[in-house]
């Protein structure tokens, strides 16, 4: 078992709900400050977006964040170099699109992740049917390739996804793109429940988890939550690391209240 999955299982084991905040790599000069803030606020793992020019599964907030990072000249290599300088207490999971992963081949991509201290990878436009070569490369380099499941996924496919996912399973809570929502989408519940029945991998719910009460609600039926757009909105609006820390700390508190 790789580092990421070891950590997610351990955390669940402890009765603690997993909190996985997201940040778009290279969004500001001192973007790694956000990582530290997330860690301080009680993140269990941190998802780092490697910005792609055409992020087809992302809503306006993450699109804007990606555009801003790219227009600053951000590259995958640059982000990984920044990460390599850190010594994070929590696992780092990168999230990006297939074209960036395959640009120089899956193997060299995974090797570079490993070198930068990254332990997981999420590629939303690489469904389980297309994932085999990347899976193997990831495994070779000790990277956990996290697969996504959606409300529209059939039971048969859920089984396959659960079987091939590593680190955790990413339960996409709704039929839609990333983005803040007023209410936590209902469709995540059934999906998370089905997954939980199929696998003992931790199941994290993402997409639309925007507020502490959403997090708390999702944590009732899943092992944790991924929070992206709600945080990136603040970053885009000029929020500093401290603001983000406070924001995330509220989520932590809400989750911990559930776990008790």
Partner 1 sequence: MDTRSLAVDVRAPSGLGRFGEYGGRFVPESLIAACEEVEHAFRDAWADPLFHGQLDRLLAVYAGRPTALTPAWRLSAELGITLLLKREDLAHTGSHKINNVLGQALLAKRMGKQRLIAETGAGQHGVATATAAALLGMSATVFMGERDIERQELNVFRMRMLGAEVVPVGSGSRTLKDACSEALRHWVSSVEDGYYCLGSVMGPHPYPWLVREFQRVIGDEARTQCATELRTATPDFVVACVGGGSNAAGTFAGFVDTPARLIGVEPEGGAAINSGLPGILHGFRTKVLQDEHGQISEAHSIAAGLDYPGVGPEHAYLADLGRAEYFTVSDAEVLDAVRRLAKAEGILCALESAHAVAWVLRAVEDGEIPAGSTVLLTLSGRGDKDMHTLMELS
**Cβ neighbours of residue 165 closer than 8 Å, sequence gap 6 or more:** 145, 146, 147, 199, 201
For residues 56 and 43, give the distance between their C-alpha atoms in angstroms, rounded to a whole number: 27
Does residue 42 belong to the site contacting partner 1 (CB under 8 A)? no
β pairing state of 46-49 and 92-95: parallel
Annotated catalytic, 247? no
Among 119, 153, 210, 229, binds partner 1 (CB under 8 A): 153
Stretch that binds partner 1, among 97-105, 192-200, 217-225, 250-258 (CB under 8 A): 97-105
CA 255 to the chain's CA centroid: 17
Query: To the nearest whole angstrom, how small is the minimum distance from the Cβ of residue 161 to partner 1?
Result: 7
Residue among 215, 207, 203, 167 nearest 62 (CA): 207
CA 231 to the chain's CA centroid: 13
What stretch of H or E contains 148? Answer: strand 144-149
Does residue 204 belong to the site contacting partner 1 (CB under 8 A)? no
Task: Map tokens 């009460």 to a residue.
Answer: 213
The interface with partner 1 within residues 56-85 (CB under 8 A) comprises: 56-60, 63-64, 67, 70, 75-77
Stretch that binds partner 1, among 34-42, 55-63, 85-93, 234-242 (CB under 8 A): 55-63
Stretch that binds partner 1, among 33-41, 83-91, 119-127, 224-232 (CB under 8 A): 119-127
Residues with catalytic function: 47, 58
Residues that bind partner 1 (CB under 8 A): 52-60, 63-64, 67, 70, 75-77, 97-100, 102-104, 124-130, 147-154, 157, 161, 172, 174-177
């Amino acid at each position: 078992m790789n580092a990421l999955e070891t950590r997610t299982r351990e955390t669940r084991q402890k009765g603690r709900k997993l909190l996985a905040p997201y940040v778009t790599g290279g969004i500001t000069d001192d973007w790694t400050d956000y990582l530290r803030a997330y860690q301080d606020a009680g993140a269990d793992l941190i998802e780092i977006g490697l910005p792609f020019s055409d992020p087809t599964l992302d809503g306006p907030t993450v699109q804007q964040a990606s555009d801003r990072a790219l227009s600053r000249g951000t590259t995958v290599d640059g982000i990984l170099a920044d990460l390599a300088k850190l010594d994070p207490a929590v696992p780092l999971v990168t999230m990006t699109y297939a074209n960036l992963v395959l640009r120089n081949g899956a193997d060299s991509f995974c090797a570079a992740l490993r070198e930068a201290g990254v332990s997981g990878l999420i590629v939303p436009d690489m469904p389980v049917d297309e994932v085999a070569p990347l899976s193997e490369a990831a495994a070779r380099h000790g990277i956990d390739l996290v697969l996504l499941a959606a409300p529209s996924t059939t039971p048969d496919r859920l089984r396959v996804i659960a079987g091939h996912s590593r680190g955790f399973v990413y339960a996409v809570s709704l039929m839609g793109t990333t983005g803040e929502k007023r209410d936590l989408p209902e469709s995540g519940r059934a999906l998370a429940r089905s997954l939980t029945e199929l696998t003992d991998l931790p199941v994290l719910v993402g997409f639309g988890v925007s507020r502490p009460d959403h997090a708390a609600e999702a944590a009732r039926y899943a092992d944790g939550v991924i929070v992206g757009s709600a945080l990136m909105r603040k970053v885009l609006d000029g929020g500093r690391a401290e603001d983000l820390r406070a924001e995330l700390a509220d989520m932590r508190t809400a989750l911990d209240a559930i776990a008790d």
